[in-house]
Amino acid sequence: MLRTRVLLIVPLAAGLAAAPARAGDATGASAPYEDLVEVMATLTWHLHDDTYRFPPPKDPTGHDLYKLSLTRLESWEKRFPGRMRDVTTLGRAEALEHLGEYRPAAEAYGQVAAMSESPLAGKAKDGAARARAFADAAGLPETGDGIQEELGALRRKLDAWGSLIDKYKDTPYESLALTEEERLERSTTRLVVEHRHEIEHGDETAEKALRFLIQKHADSKHLPVYVLRLGDLYADLAREYVAANDRPLAFNEDEFISRTDRALDTYHKVAVWDGVKEKPEGQARFAALEAWKTATLSQYR
């Protein structure tokens, strides 16, 4: 009886006393590689992410994964200089490419491609060609002496990115090119909105430009921002109306209400848009404009 009890207790006690050993803990000579493989694992996991439609990936602590991977790879290179250089350089190149730093990425890819004994040289060669093409497009000028020159420069750059979008269609790199194209179209639209007083039919052109941005990039993660910018334009038009008609007899209440309500409607879309980080901004802009509308109406009533 006592023997049976001992037989039962011993395995139970052993099970409680020692937690199962983790098979994954690297020790001794393999320890240095553990950090490297972990960084490469999390980075490689997210290399195919669609960063045009969705926000860039974050690690469990909330850091931008591409930036974090780049820093950790650089740290590893400092601690273990010369070791696994093709792996770390390729990882850095991939992280840099996803951060939009195409020229340094091309250089890093090029370094790995030049390591003829590395099995990663072939992959790096493709990466180098792609990153160079992206870097060439990214290097084109975006500014000019006047608004027309600036718009012309942006158009040429957009054409360059357009051809890259076609070339890398349905590959993981299409989203990188789309992100660049979107950024340029955003700049173009901002330019038009900022200079609308200098352009013929500037208000209509600015509205059309913003609506074009919203329609073309309806899948983009930045869509709520564009809706807010359209709301800003409408709000500015309402304020300009008040400034131009500030004498009591010139002020037309219905006209003012229709202008402010158009802006309020636009802000409201973002204010009730669950899950987007622009929602609090939309709510605040809506509340501010609504307060201004009420104050303005009471002033003229």
Residue from 7, 10, 15, 75 that binds another protein (CB under 8 A)?
75
Q: Which is nearer to another protein, 142 or 281 (CB)?
A: 281
Residue from 60, 116, 198, 249 that binds another protein (CB under 8 A)?
60
Q: Which is nearer to another protein, 11 or 119 (CB)?
A: 119
Q: What is the DSSP string of the chain?
A: -HHHHHHHHHHHHHHHHSPPPPTT---GGGHHHHHHHHHHHHHHHTTT--TTTSPPPB-TTS-BHHHHHHHHHHHHHHHSTTTTHHHHHHHHHHHHHHTT-HHHHHHHHHHHHT-TTSTTHHHHHHHHHHHHHHHHHHHS----SSHHHHHHHHHHHHHHHHHHHHHTTTSTTHHHHHHHHHHHHHHHHHHHHHTTTTSTTHHHHHHHHHHHHHHHTTTSTTHHHHHHHHHHHHHHHHHHHHHHT-STTT--HHHHHHHHHHHHHHHHHHHT-TT-TTHHHHHHHHHHHHHHHHHHHHHH-
* 83 touches another protein by CB under 8 A: yes
- Binding segment for another protein (CB under 8 A), chosen from 53-61, 100-108, 134-142, 146-154, is 53-61
* 294 touches another protein by CB under 8 A: yes
Residue from 52, 76, 102, 161 that binds another protein (CB under 8 A)?
76
How far apart are CB 206 and another protein at their closest, in Å? 24
Residue from 51, 69, 89, 90 that binds another protein (CB under 8 A)?
90
Binding residues for another protein restricted to 139-198, rule: CB under 8 A:
none
* 71 touches another protein by CB under 8 A: yes
Of the candidates 169, 90, 79, the residue with the CA atom closest to the CA atom of residue 127? 90
Residue from 32, 56, 104, 162 that binds another protein (CB under 8 A)?
32
Residue from 142, 153, 257, 281 that binds another protein (CB under 8 A)?
257
Q: Which is nearer to another protein, 121 or 214 (CB)?
A: 121
How far apart are CB 278 and another protein at their closest, in Å? 9
Of the candidates 127, 56, 61, 117, the residue with the CA atom closest to the CA atom of residue 91? 127
Q: How deeply is 166 buried, as exposed, middle or buried, from its count of CB atoms within 10 A (0-12, 13-18, 19+)? A: exposed
How far apart are CB 178 and another protein at their closest, in Å? 15
For residue 80, which phi and psi values (nearest 5 degrees)?
Answer: -125, 70
Number of residues in contact with another protein under rule CB under 8 A: 67
* 100 touches another protein by CB under 8 A: no
Q: Which is nearer to another protein, 40 or 235 (CB)?
A: 40
| Separation CA 104–CA 91 (nearest Å) | 12
- Binding segment for another protein (CB under 8 A), chosen from 4-12, 56-64, 153-161, 178-186, is 56-64
* 272 touches another protein by CB under 8 A: yes
Which residues form the interface with another protein (CB under 8 A)?
Answer: 20-38, 40-42, 44-46, 53-54, 59-62, 68, 71-72, 74-76, 78-80, 83-84, 86-87, 90, 118-120, 122-123, 219, 257, 261, 264-265, 268, 272, 274-277, 279-280, 290, 293-294, 297
